[in-house]
Chain A
Amino acid sequence: GAVVSQHPSWVICKSGTSVKIECRSLDFQATTMFWYRQFPKQSLMLMATSNEGSKATYEQGVEKDKFLINHASLTLSTLTVTSAHPEDSSFYICSATLGQENSPLHFGNGTRLTVT
């Protein structure tokens, strides 16, 4: 149980274009999902907390107009990287929790974004 599916697993796009990444909880409902970014050989960096039916909460330093998050249902959250630049190239990983007090985070397989 607690499977999180993320799509696509990799994407290459040109500078200035937008890319949408989907994160789905397959066998549970996730009122909260988390989006992380990870650069090579670095630790996970929390970008934002996505709450179903409300605005996402962004971490300090993360541009909310650049990284648009939509959590329209209990099983789907999307991250759109708008006007992508090469420095946005990274590994983006979503995660979700069952929401109980001791529930762990379950991660999607991640999306490798390369902006050329």
Chain B
Amino acid sequence: QKEVEQNSGPLSVPEGAIASLNCTYSDRGSQSFFWYRQYSGKSPELIMSIYSNGDKEDGRFTAQLNKASQYVSLLIRDSQPSDSATYLCASRNSGTYKYIFGTGTRLKVLA
């Protein structure tokens, strides 16, 4: 079973702090990785994609990928209450069309 694992949380951080969300994957054939944010009752929305080892920054968000350790993370700087949501990590195997999602980490940013 190809899996993507995340801590379900909730992860609580104070407003203005850095939130660190982590994800591990088991399929070494995975080449592309994605972070989605899902508000309660809404569908997921794409935050970032990452394909190469290292860091990728977009505004307050930084994705980190370490293929040797099979580890992906998402950092949210200057966290805001509006960032409170469930964050889904997903991987895609280059040989198939399938996207594998983790169960998500619930983030709470406390005002």
Contacts and interface: CB of A to CB of B under 8 A. Distances in A.
Contacts of B104: 43
A105 B42 contact: no
A44 B94 contact: no
B103 interface: yes
Given A32-B97, A43-B103, A101-B32, A108 B43 contact: yes
* Chain A contact surface mostly: strand
B17 interface: no
B42 A106 contact: no
Interface residues of B, number: 23
B51 to A, nearest CB: 5
B67 to A, nearest CB: 14
Contacts, number: 51
Contacts of A46: 98-99
Interface in B71-111: 88, 90, 92, 94, 97-99, 101-104
A72 B48 CA distance: 31
Contacts of A105: 34, 46, 90, 99
B101 A44 contact: yes
Interface of B: 31-32, 34, 36, 41-46, 49, 51, 88, 90, 92, 94, 97-99, 101-104
Interface of A: 6, 32, 34, 42-44, 46, 49, 91, 93, 97, 101-110, 112
